[in-house]
Amino acid sequence: MASLDKKNVRYNILYILVYIVGIILIFQLFNLQIVHGEEYLQRANSRLTRETKIRAARGNILDCNGNVLAGNEIKYSLKIYKSKIDEQNLNTTILNAIFVLEKNGDKYNDDFPININPVSFKYENQERINKWLEENDLADGTTAEQALEYFIDEYSLKQYSLEEARKIIAVRYGIDVNGYSSMRGYEISPEVCEKSVAQIEEMNHSFPGINIEYRPIRKYYYSSLASHVLGYVGKIGNEEYTQNEGYELDDYIGKTGIEYVCEKFLKGKDGLKQTDMSIDGTTTGEYITEEAISGSNVMLTIDAKVQQVAERALKENIEKINNGDYGEKREVYAGSVVVLNVKTGEVISMVSYPDFEPQLFVDGISTEKWNEYTVKGRSALINRTMQSAYAPGSIFKMVPAIAGLETGKITKDEQIECAGIYPGGYKPKCWYYTTYGRGHGYLTVSQAIQKSCNCYFYEVGTRIGIDNIEKYATYFGLGQKTNIELPGEISGTLAGKKLYEKLDETWYYGNTLSAVIGQAENNFTPIQMARYIAMLTNGGKKLDLTIIKDIINNQGESIKTEEVKDYINKRLGIEKTSEENLNIQKENLKTVLEGMQSVTEEGGTAYSVFKDFPIQVGGKTGSAEAGNDKTNAWFVGFAPYENPEIAVVVLVENGAHGYYSAEVTKEIMEAYFGLNEEIVEDKTAKPYTNL
Span 355-368, pLDDT tens digits: 999 999 998 999 99
12-26, 62-76, 126-140, 382-396: least confident range: 12-26
Query: What number is the average pLDDT over the span 37-60?
Result: 67
Q: What is the pLDDT of residues 527-538, one digit of tens each?
A: 999 999 999 999
Question: What is the Cα–Cα distance from 663 to 316, expressed in whole angstroms?
Answer: 10
The answer to whether 337 and 664 are in contact (CB under 8 A) is yes
Contacts with 81 (C-beta within 8 Å, 6 or more apart), sequence order: 50, 180, 181, 182, 183, 184, 185, 186, 209, 211, 281
As a whole number, the mean pLDDT across the chain is: 90
Q: What is the pLDDT of residue 34?
A: 63
Burial class from Cβ neighbours inside 10 Å (0-12, 13-18, 19+) for residue 59 reads buried
pLDDT-derived band of residue 682, with 50, 70 and 90 as boundaries?
A: very low
Question: What is the Cα–Cα distance from 538 to 535, expressed in whole angstroms?
Answer: 5
| C-alpha distances in Å from residue 229, one per residue of 253, 266, 296, 547 | 16, 15, 18, 9
Q: What is the pLDDT of residue 48?
A: 65
For residue 467, pLDDT beyond 70? yes
| C-alpha distances in Å from residue 262, one per residue of 64, 246, 325, 548, 551 | 16, 16, 42, 10, 9
Which one is predicted more confidently, 556 or 204? 556
Name the pTM for this structure. 0.84
Instruction: Centre a 10 Å sphere on the Cβ of residue 303 and count the other Cβ atoms it contains.
Output: 23
Q: What is the pLDDT of residues 95-151, one digit of tens each?
A: 999 999 999 999 999 999 999 999 999 988 999 999 999 999 999 999 999 999 999
Query: What number is the average pLDDT over the span 424-436?
Result: 94
28-42, 206-220, 225-239, 352-366: least confident range: 28-42
User: What percent of the chain shows pLDDT beyond 70?
Assistant: 90
Query: What number is the average pLDDT over the span 323-347?
Result: 94
For residue 501, pLDDT beyond 90? yes
For residue 41, pLDDT beyond 50? no
pLDDT-derived band of residue 188, with 50, 70 and 90 as boundaries?
A: very high
Orientation of helix 144-154 relative to helix 162-178, angle to 10°: 80
Tally of CA atoms within 13 A in the half-sphere of 9 that contains its CB:
6
pLDDT-derived band of residue 622, with 50, 70 and 90 as boundaries?
A: very high
For residue 85, pLDDT beyond 60? yes
Contacts with 300 (C-beta within 8 Å, 6 or more apart), sequence order: 61, 62, 63, 64, 69, 229, 258, 547, 548, 549
Q: What is the pLDDT of residue 684?
A: 38
Tell me the pairing of strands 252-254 and 271-277.
Answer: unpaired
Give 70-88 as a DSSP string: EEEEEEEEEEE---S--HH
Query: What number is the average pLDDT over the span 652-672?
Result: 94
pLDDT-derived band of residue 687, with 50, 70 and 90 as boundaries?
A: very low
pLDDT-derived band of residue 229, with 50, 70 and 90 as boundaries?
A: very high
Give Cα 40 to chain centroid, integer Å: 56
Q: Which residues pair with 335 in a beta bridge?
A: 353, 652
pLDDT-derived band of residue 328, with 50, 70 and 90 as boundaries?
A: confident
Q: What is the pLDDT of residue 292?
A: 81
For residue 256, pLDDT beyond 90? yes
**Cis peptide leading into residue 113 (ω within 30°):** no
Q: What is the pLDDT of residue 10?
A: 63
For residue 270, pLDDT beyond 70? yes
Q: What is the pLDDT of residue 94?
A: 95
Which one is predicted more confidently, 626 or 314? 314
Question: What is the Cα–Cα distance from 307 to 223, expressed in whole angstroms?
Answer: 13
For residue 465, pLDDT beyond 60? yes
The answer to whether 93 and 83 are in contact (CB under 8 A) is no
| C-alpha distances in Å from residue 94, one per residue of 5, 49, 162, 303, 381 | 77, 22, 15, 50, 42
The answer to whether 245 and 235 are in contact (CB under 8 A) is no
Question: What is the Cα–Cα distance from 177 to 287, expressed in whole angstroms?
Answer: 32
Query: What number is the average pLDDT over the span 214-220?
Result: 92
For residue 690, pLDDT beyond 70? no
Mapped onto helix, strand or coil, the DSSP state of residue 288 is strand
Which sign does the torsion angle of CA 203, 205, 208, 212 carry? positive
CB < 8 Å & 24+ apart, contacts of 375-383: 377/333, 378/333, 378/334, 378/354, 379/354, 380/354, 380/355, 380/356, 381/256, 381/356, 382/352, 383/228, 383/350, 383/352, 383/486, 383/488
Which one is predicted more confidently, 375 or 44? 375
Question: What is the Cα–Cα distance from 192 to 601, expressed in whole angstroms?
Answer: 61
For residue 31, pLDDT beyond 80? no
Tell me the pairing of strands 186-192 and 441-443.
Answer: unpaired
3 state SS for 175-236: HHHHCCCCCCCEEEEEEECHHHHHHHHHCHHHCCCEEEEEEEEEEECCCCCCHHHHCCEEEC
pLDDT-derived band of residue 688, with 50, 70 and 90 as boundaries?
A: very low
Query: What number is the average pLDDT over the span 329-350?
Result: 96
For residue 560, pLDDT beyond 70? yes
Q: What is the pLDDT of residue 259?
A: 98
**Cis peptide leading into residue 118 (ω within 30°):** yes
For residue 42, pLDDT beyond 60? no
